[in-house]
Structure 1
């Protein structure tokens, strides 16, 4: 039997009546489920994305219908990218092309699916953080970095060291959504300015506060500009490719180097 998922911003009596009608009318042929965008989770690990709705794998559905997705435009766009790859039909397909309306999650998803080195990430809505805390801990181990999707320049980033720290969300805005990632020890973080198919600026960001784990200049880090010719070839290659994947002709890319393994991770573009 085929399954239809109707995604809405909020559940209500009329929407549930529609689902009940469809289940009665197509009994034995199609099972219809009503779900909220805020119930979605997305796990990125450089392979196929893992998308779930209330713990149920999105690939269990034959069709996903976005009903009034304007309040979750960027999430609908990100989900569309995932559904295309997973082979799940959805309507309306116009959500594939949200352009600059995309979020950090949209960018990370595109970079991950292109095989670029983004940190393994787990997305969920603010309301669902405590429900998924145990999974996040088991997946990434402490410390864990939590990032608000809507904030920039190092703001809205939290370092979680214990399960109790997961209560941080209570002090955030109701509309907030979060990405969770492993924390990688690092002493070197770089920003590269990409212009078309070349790197024009190469700088190192140096933390000045030993208690600070973020390397944002807006939070006190210093900038050390370095000759572009000294930028590692691999680093230049991945940031140029990242800009192309995101269809950006001018892009600033942040790259972190893991102190333990030496691996280069794209933080953000």
Structure 2
């Protein structure tokens, strides 16, 4: 019986002739039930009165310029829990797998695997009855050389558009930063990671400059994508202002980032634009604690340090006594605090709407883990795809515009009074929303630069 089966190692090269993929490296994993293929820009459509799906794939690991445009019959949609713990709805296709000279039909889910080590995962359902796996071996069926790959994919390289783009951030290994770098390279741009701590500047009326470690001058950039963590806001925005002084296009301006990081000022801007928020009180070490509690409708309520970063300096006070204790504790720090009504009916859930260039490009629902509370902000948990209402999209777009942000993560909570805005994030993370929606959010950010760079010149 075994001699009729294909023997595979833990990694093998295979192909999908119906998708136009001549070869792709797969992780052979008998511990995974279903197979998965890397895909971005996924879009269902009707062909000959049947459901199909089209998508793009860059099939060679660490080569973002090579792109294959694929389409296949759509046979299902399933909720899958990814290895990173996010629940996502995936499209399922059926196509022909060719491996070791043998061909057979398999089912695969489509998902963004940019954070994974392999563009393809071959699961046990696709191997059942046909394959034996020797996990100690690799490439038992051979592997292509770099020259072979170049020849196979010579007609699949994207034309370069030639912008020089810098990602101004702190951690080059962060998923979001890696994805933006990859997306820019995939669209043919010259991408550079600029570590905020390693930049310094020359203030000069005639010849302002930004230098990088070793004295490299950074004045020849076309665009900058600021990805500034809260602890680096002051210096990161200073650098962004310097790039702006050099007439470099910045995807989010220094002013927009600065005001988004000021919790009180940002709430005032949003209210001035007619956007509803949970009832909120503000004080500096308040003397009249009772009236502050009463102002927001009494307990349970949320107490936040104004200078706290997301998730830190946030306390849920369930009783009046607990609220008084927390507020008095913060008073001893002579701190500025926000007191906010707690939206019970949200049941630990909020929405993250990702806005790019005035459009909502993706929406997820985030749910706290059992035993956690969300304190009207996102503190972790699971993410799943959800359809935002027209009103929620309107609020998100209006909020991003009020903050003057080209890119924003807008957090909204569903309350008995309707959707309420919680927070606008100027450096929203990509991992949860790309993983859950299978959308190329990083690519949309690069497209926004291409569009607005031309306008700015």
| TM-score normalised according to structure 2 size | 0.33
Give me the whole-angstrom Cα distance separating, in 2, the residues matched to 1:150 and 1:243.
21
Report the CA distance shift for 1:134/1:216 in structure 2 as closer, same or farther (over 3 A): closer
Separation (CA, whole Å) in 1 of partners of 2:265 and 2:377: 22
Give the Å deviation of 1:171: 4.8
Per-residue CA deviation, residues 83-110 of structure 1 (Å, 9 max, x unaligned), is: xxxxxxxxxxxxxx97544311000001
Cα distance change of structure 1 residues 200 and 119 upon mapping to structure 2, 3 Å threshold = same
Out of 180, 192, 196, the position equivalent to 2:339 is: 180
User: Paired residue for 2:383, among 215, 220, 223?
Assistant: 223
Q: Is the 8 A contact 1:207 1:215 kept in 2?
A: no
Establish whether residue 168 from structure 1 lines up as the match of residue 326 from structure 2: yes
State the aligned residue count. Answer: 165
Q: CA deviation at 1:137?
A: 2.5
Q: Does the C-alpha gap of structure 1 residues 247 and 156 become closer, same or farther in structure 2, counting only changes over 3 Å?
A: same
Report the equivalent of 2:166: none
Given that 2:369 and 2:381 are in contact with CA atoms closer than 8 Å, whether structure 1 keeps it comes out as yes
Q: Partners in 1 of 2:321 and 2:328 — Cα distance?
A: 12
- In structure 1, runs of 5+ residues without a counterpart are 1-96
Deviation at residue 138 of structure 1 after TM alignment: 2.2
Does the CA contact (< 8 Å) of 2:366 and 2:381 recur in 1?
yes
Within the alignment, does 1:196 sit opposite 2:360 as a pair?
no
Distance 1:241 1:169, change over 3 A: same
Distance 1:191 1:98 in 2: 23
1:1-54 Cα deviation digits (max 9, x unpaired) = xxxxxxxxxxxxxxxxxxxxxxxxxxxxxxxxxxxxxxxxxxxxxxxxxxxxxx
- Alpha-carbon spacing, 1:171–1:136, altered in 2? closer, same or farther (3 Å): closer
Q: Secondary structure at the match of 1:155?
A: coil
1:143 correspondence with 2:304: no
Matched, 1:105 2:257: no
Structure 2 unaligned regions, length at least 5: 1-253, 425-457
1:251–1:175 CA distance, 2 compared to 1 (3 A): farther
Q: Can you list the C-alpha shifts for 1:211-268, whole angstroms capped at 9, x where unaligned?
A: 5244766x44111134xxx32111001110011011111111100011xx26110000
1:180 deviates by 0.9
Q: Give yes or no for the alignment of 1:116 onto 2:275.
A: yes
Q: How big is the alpha-carbon RMSD for the aligned residues of Structure 1 and Structure 2?
A: 2.5
Alignment correspondent of 2:419: 264
Task: Write the deviation string for residues 41-74 of structure 1: whole angstroms up to 9, x where unpaired.
Answer: xxxxxxxxxxxxxxxxxxxxxxxxxxxxxxxxxx
8 Å contact from structure 1 (residues 205, 216) kept in 2: no
Give the aligned partner of residue 79 of structure 1. none
Q: Which residue of 2 aligns with 1:248?
A: 405
Aligned to 2:73: none
Cα deviations by residue, 1:159-182 (Å, 9 ceiling, x for unpaired): 123333222245558353111111
Deviations along 1:107-164, one digit per CA (max 9) or x if unpaired, are: 0001111111112211111x22xx2211123222111111111222322111123333
Q: In the alignment, which residue of structure 2 is the partner of 1:234?
A: 391
SS at match of 1:201: strand
- Tell me the SS of whatever aligns to 1:174: coil
Decide which structure has greater helix share: 1
Q: 1:98 to 1:193 in 2, by over 3 A?
A: closer
Aligned equivalents of 1:181 and 1:220: distance in 2? 20
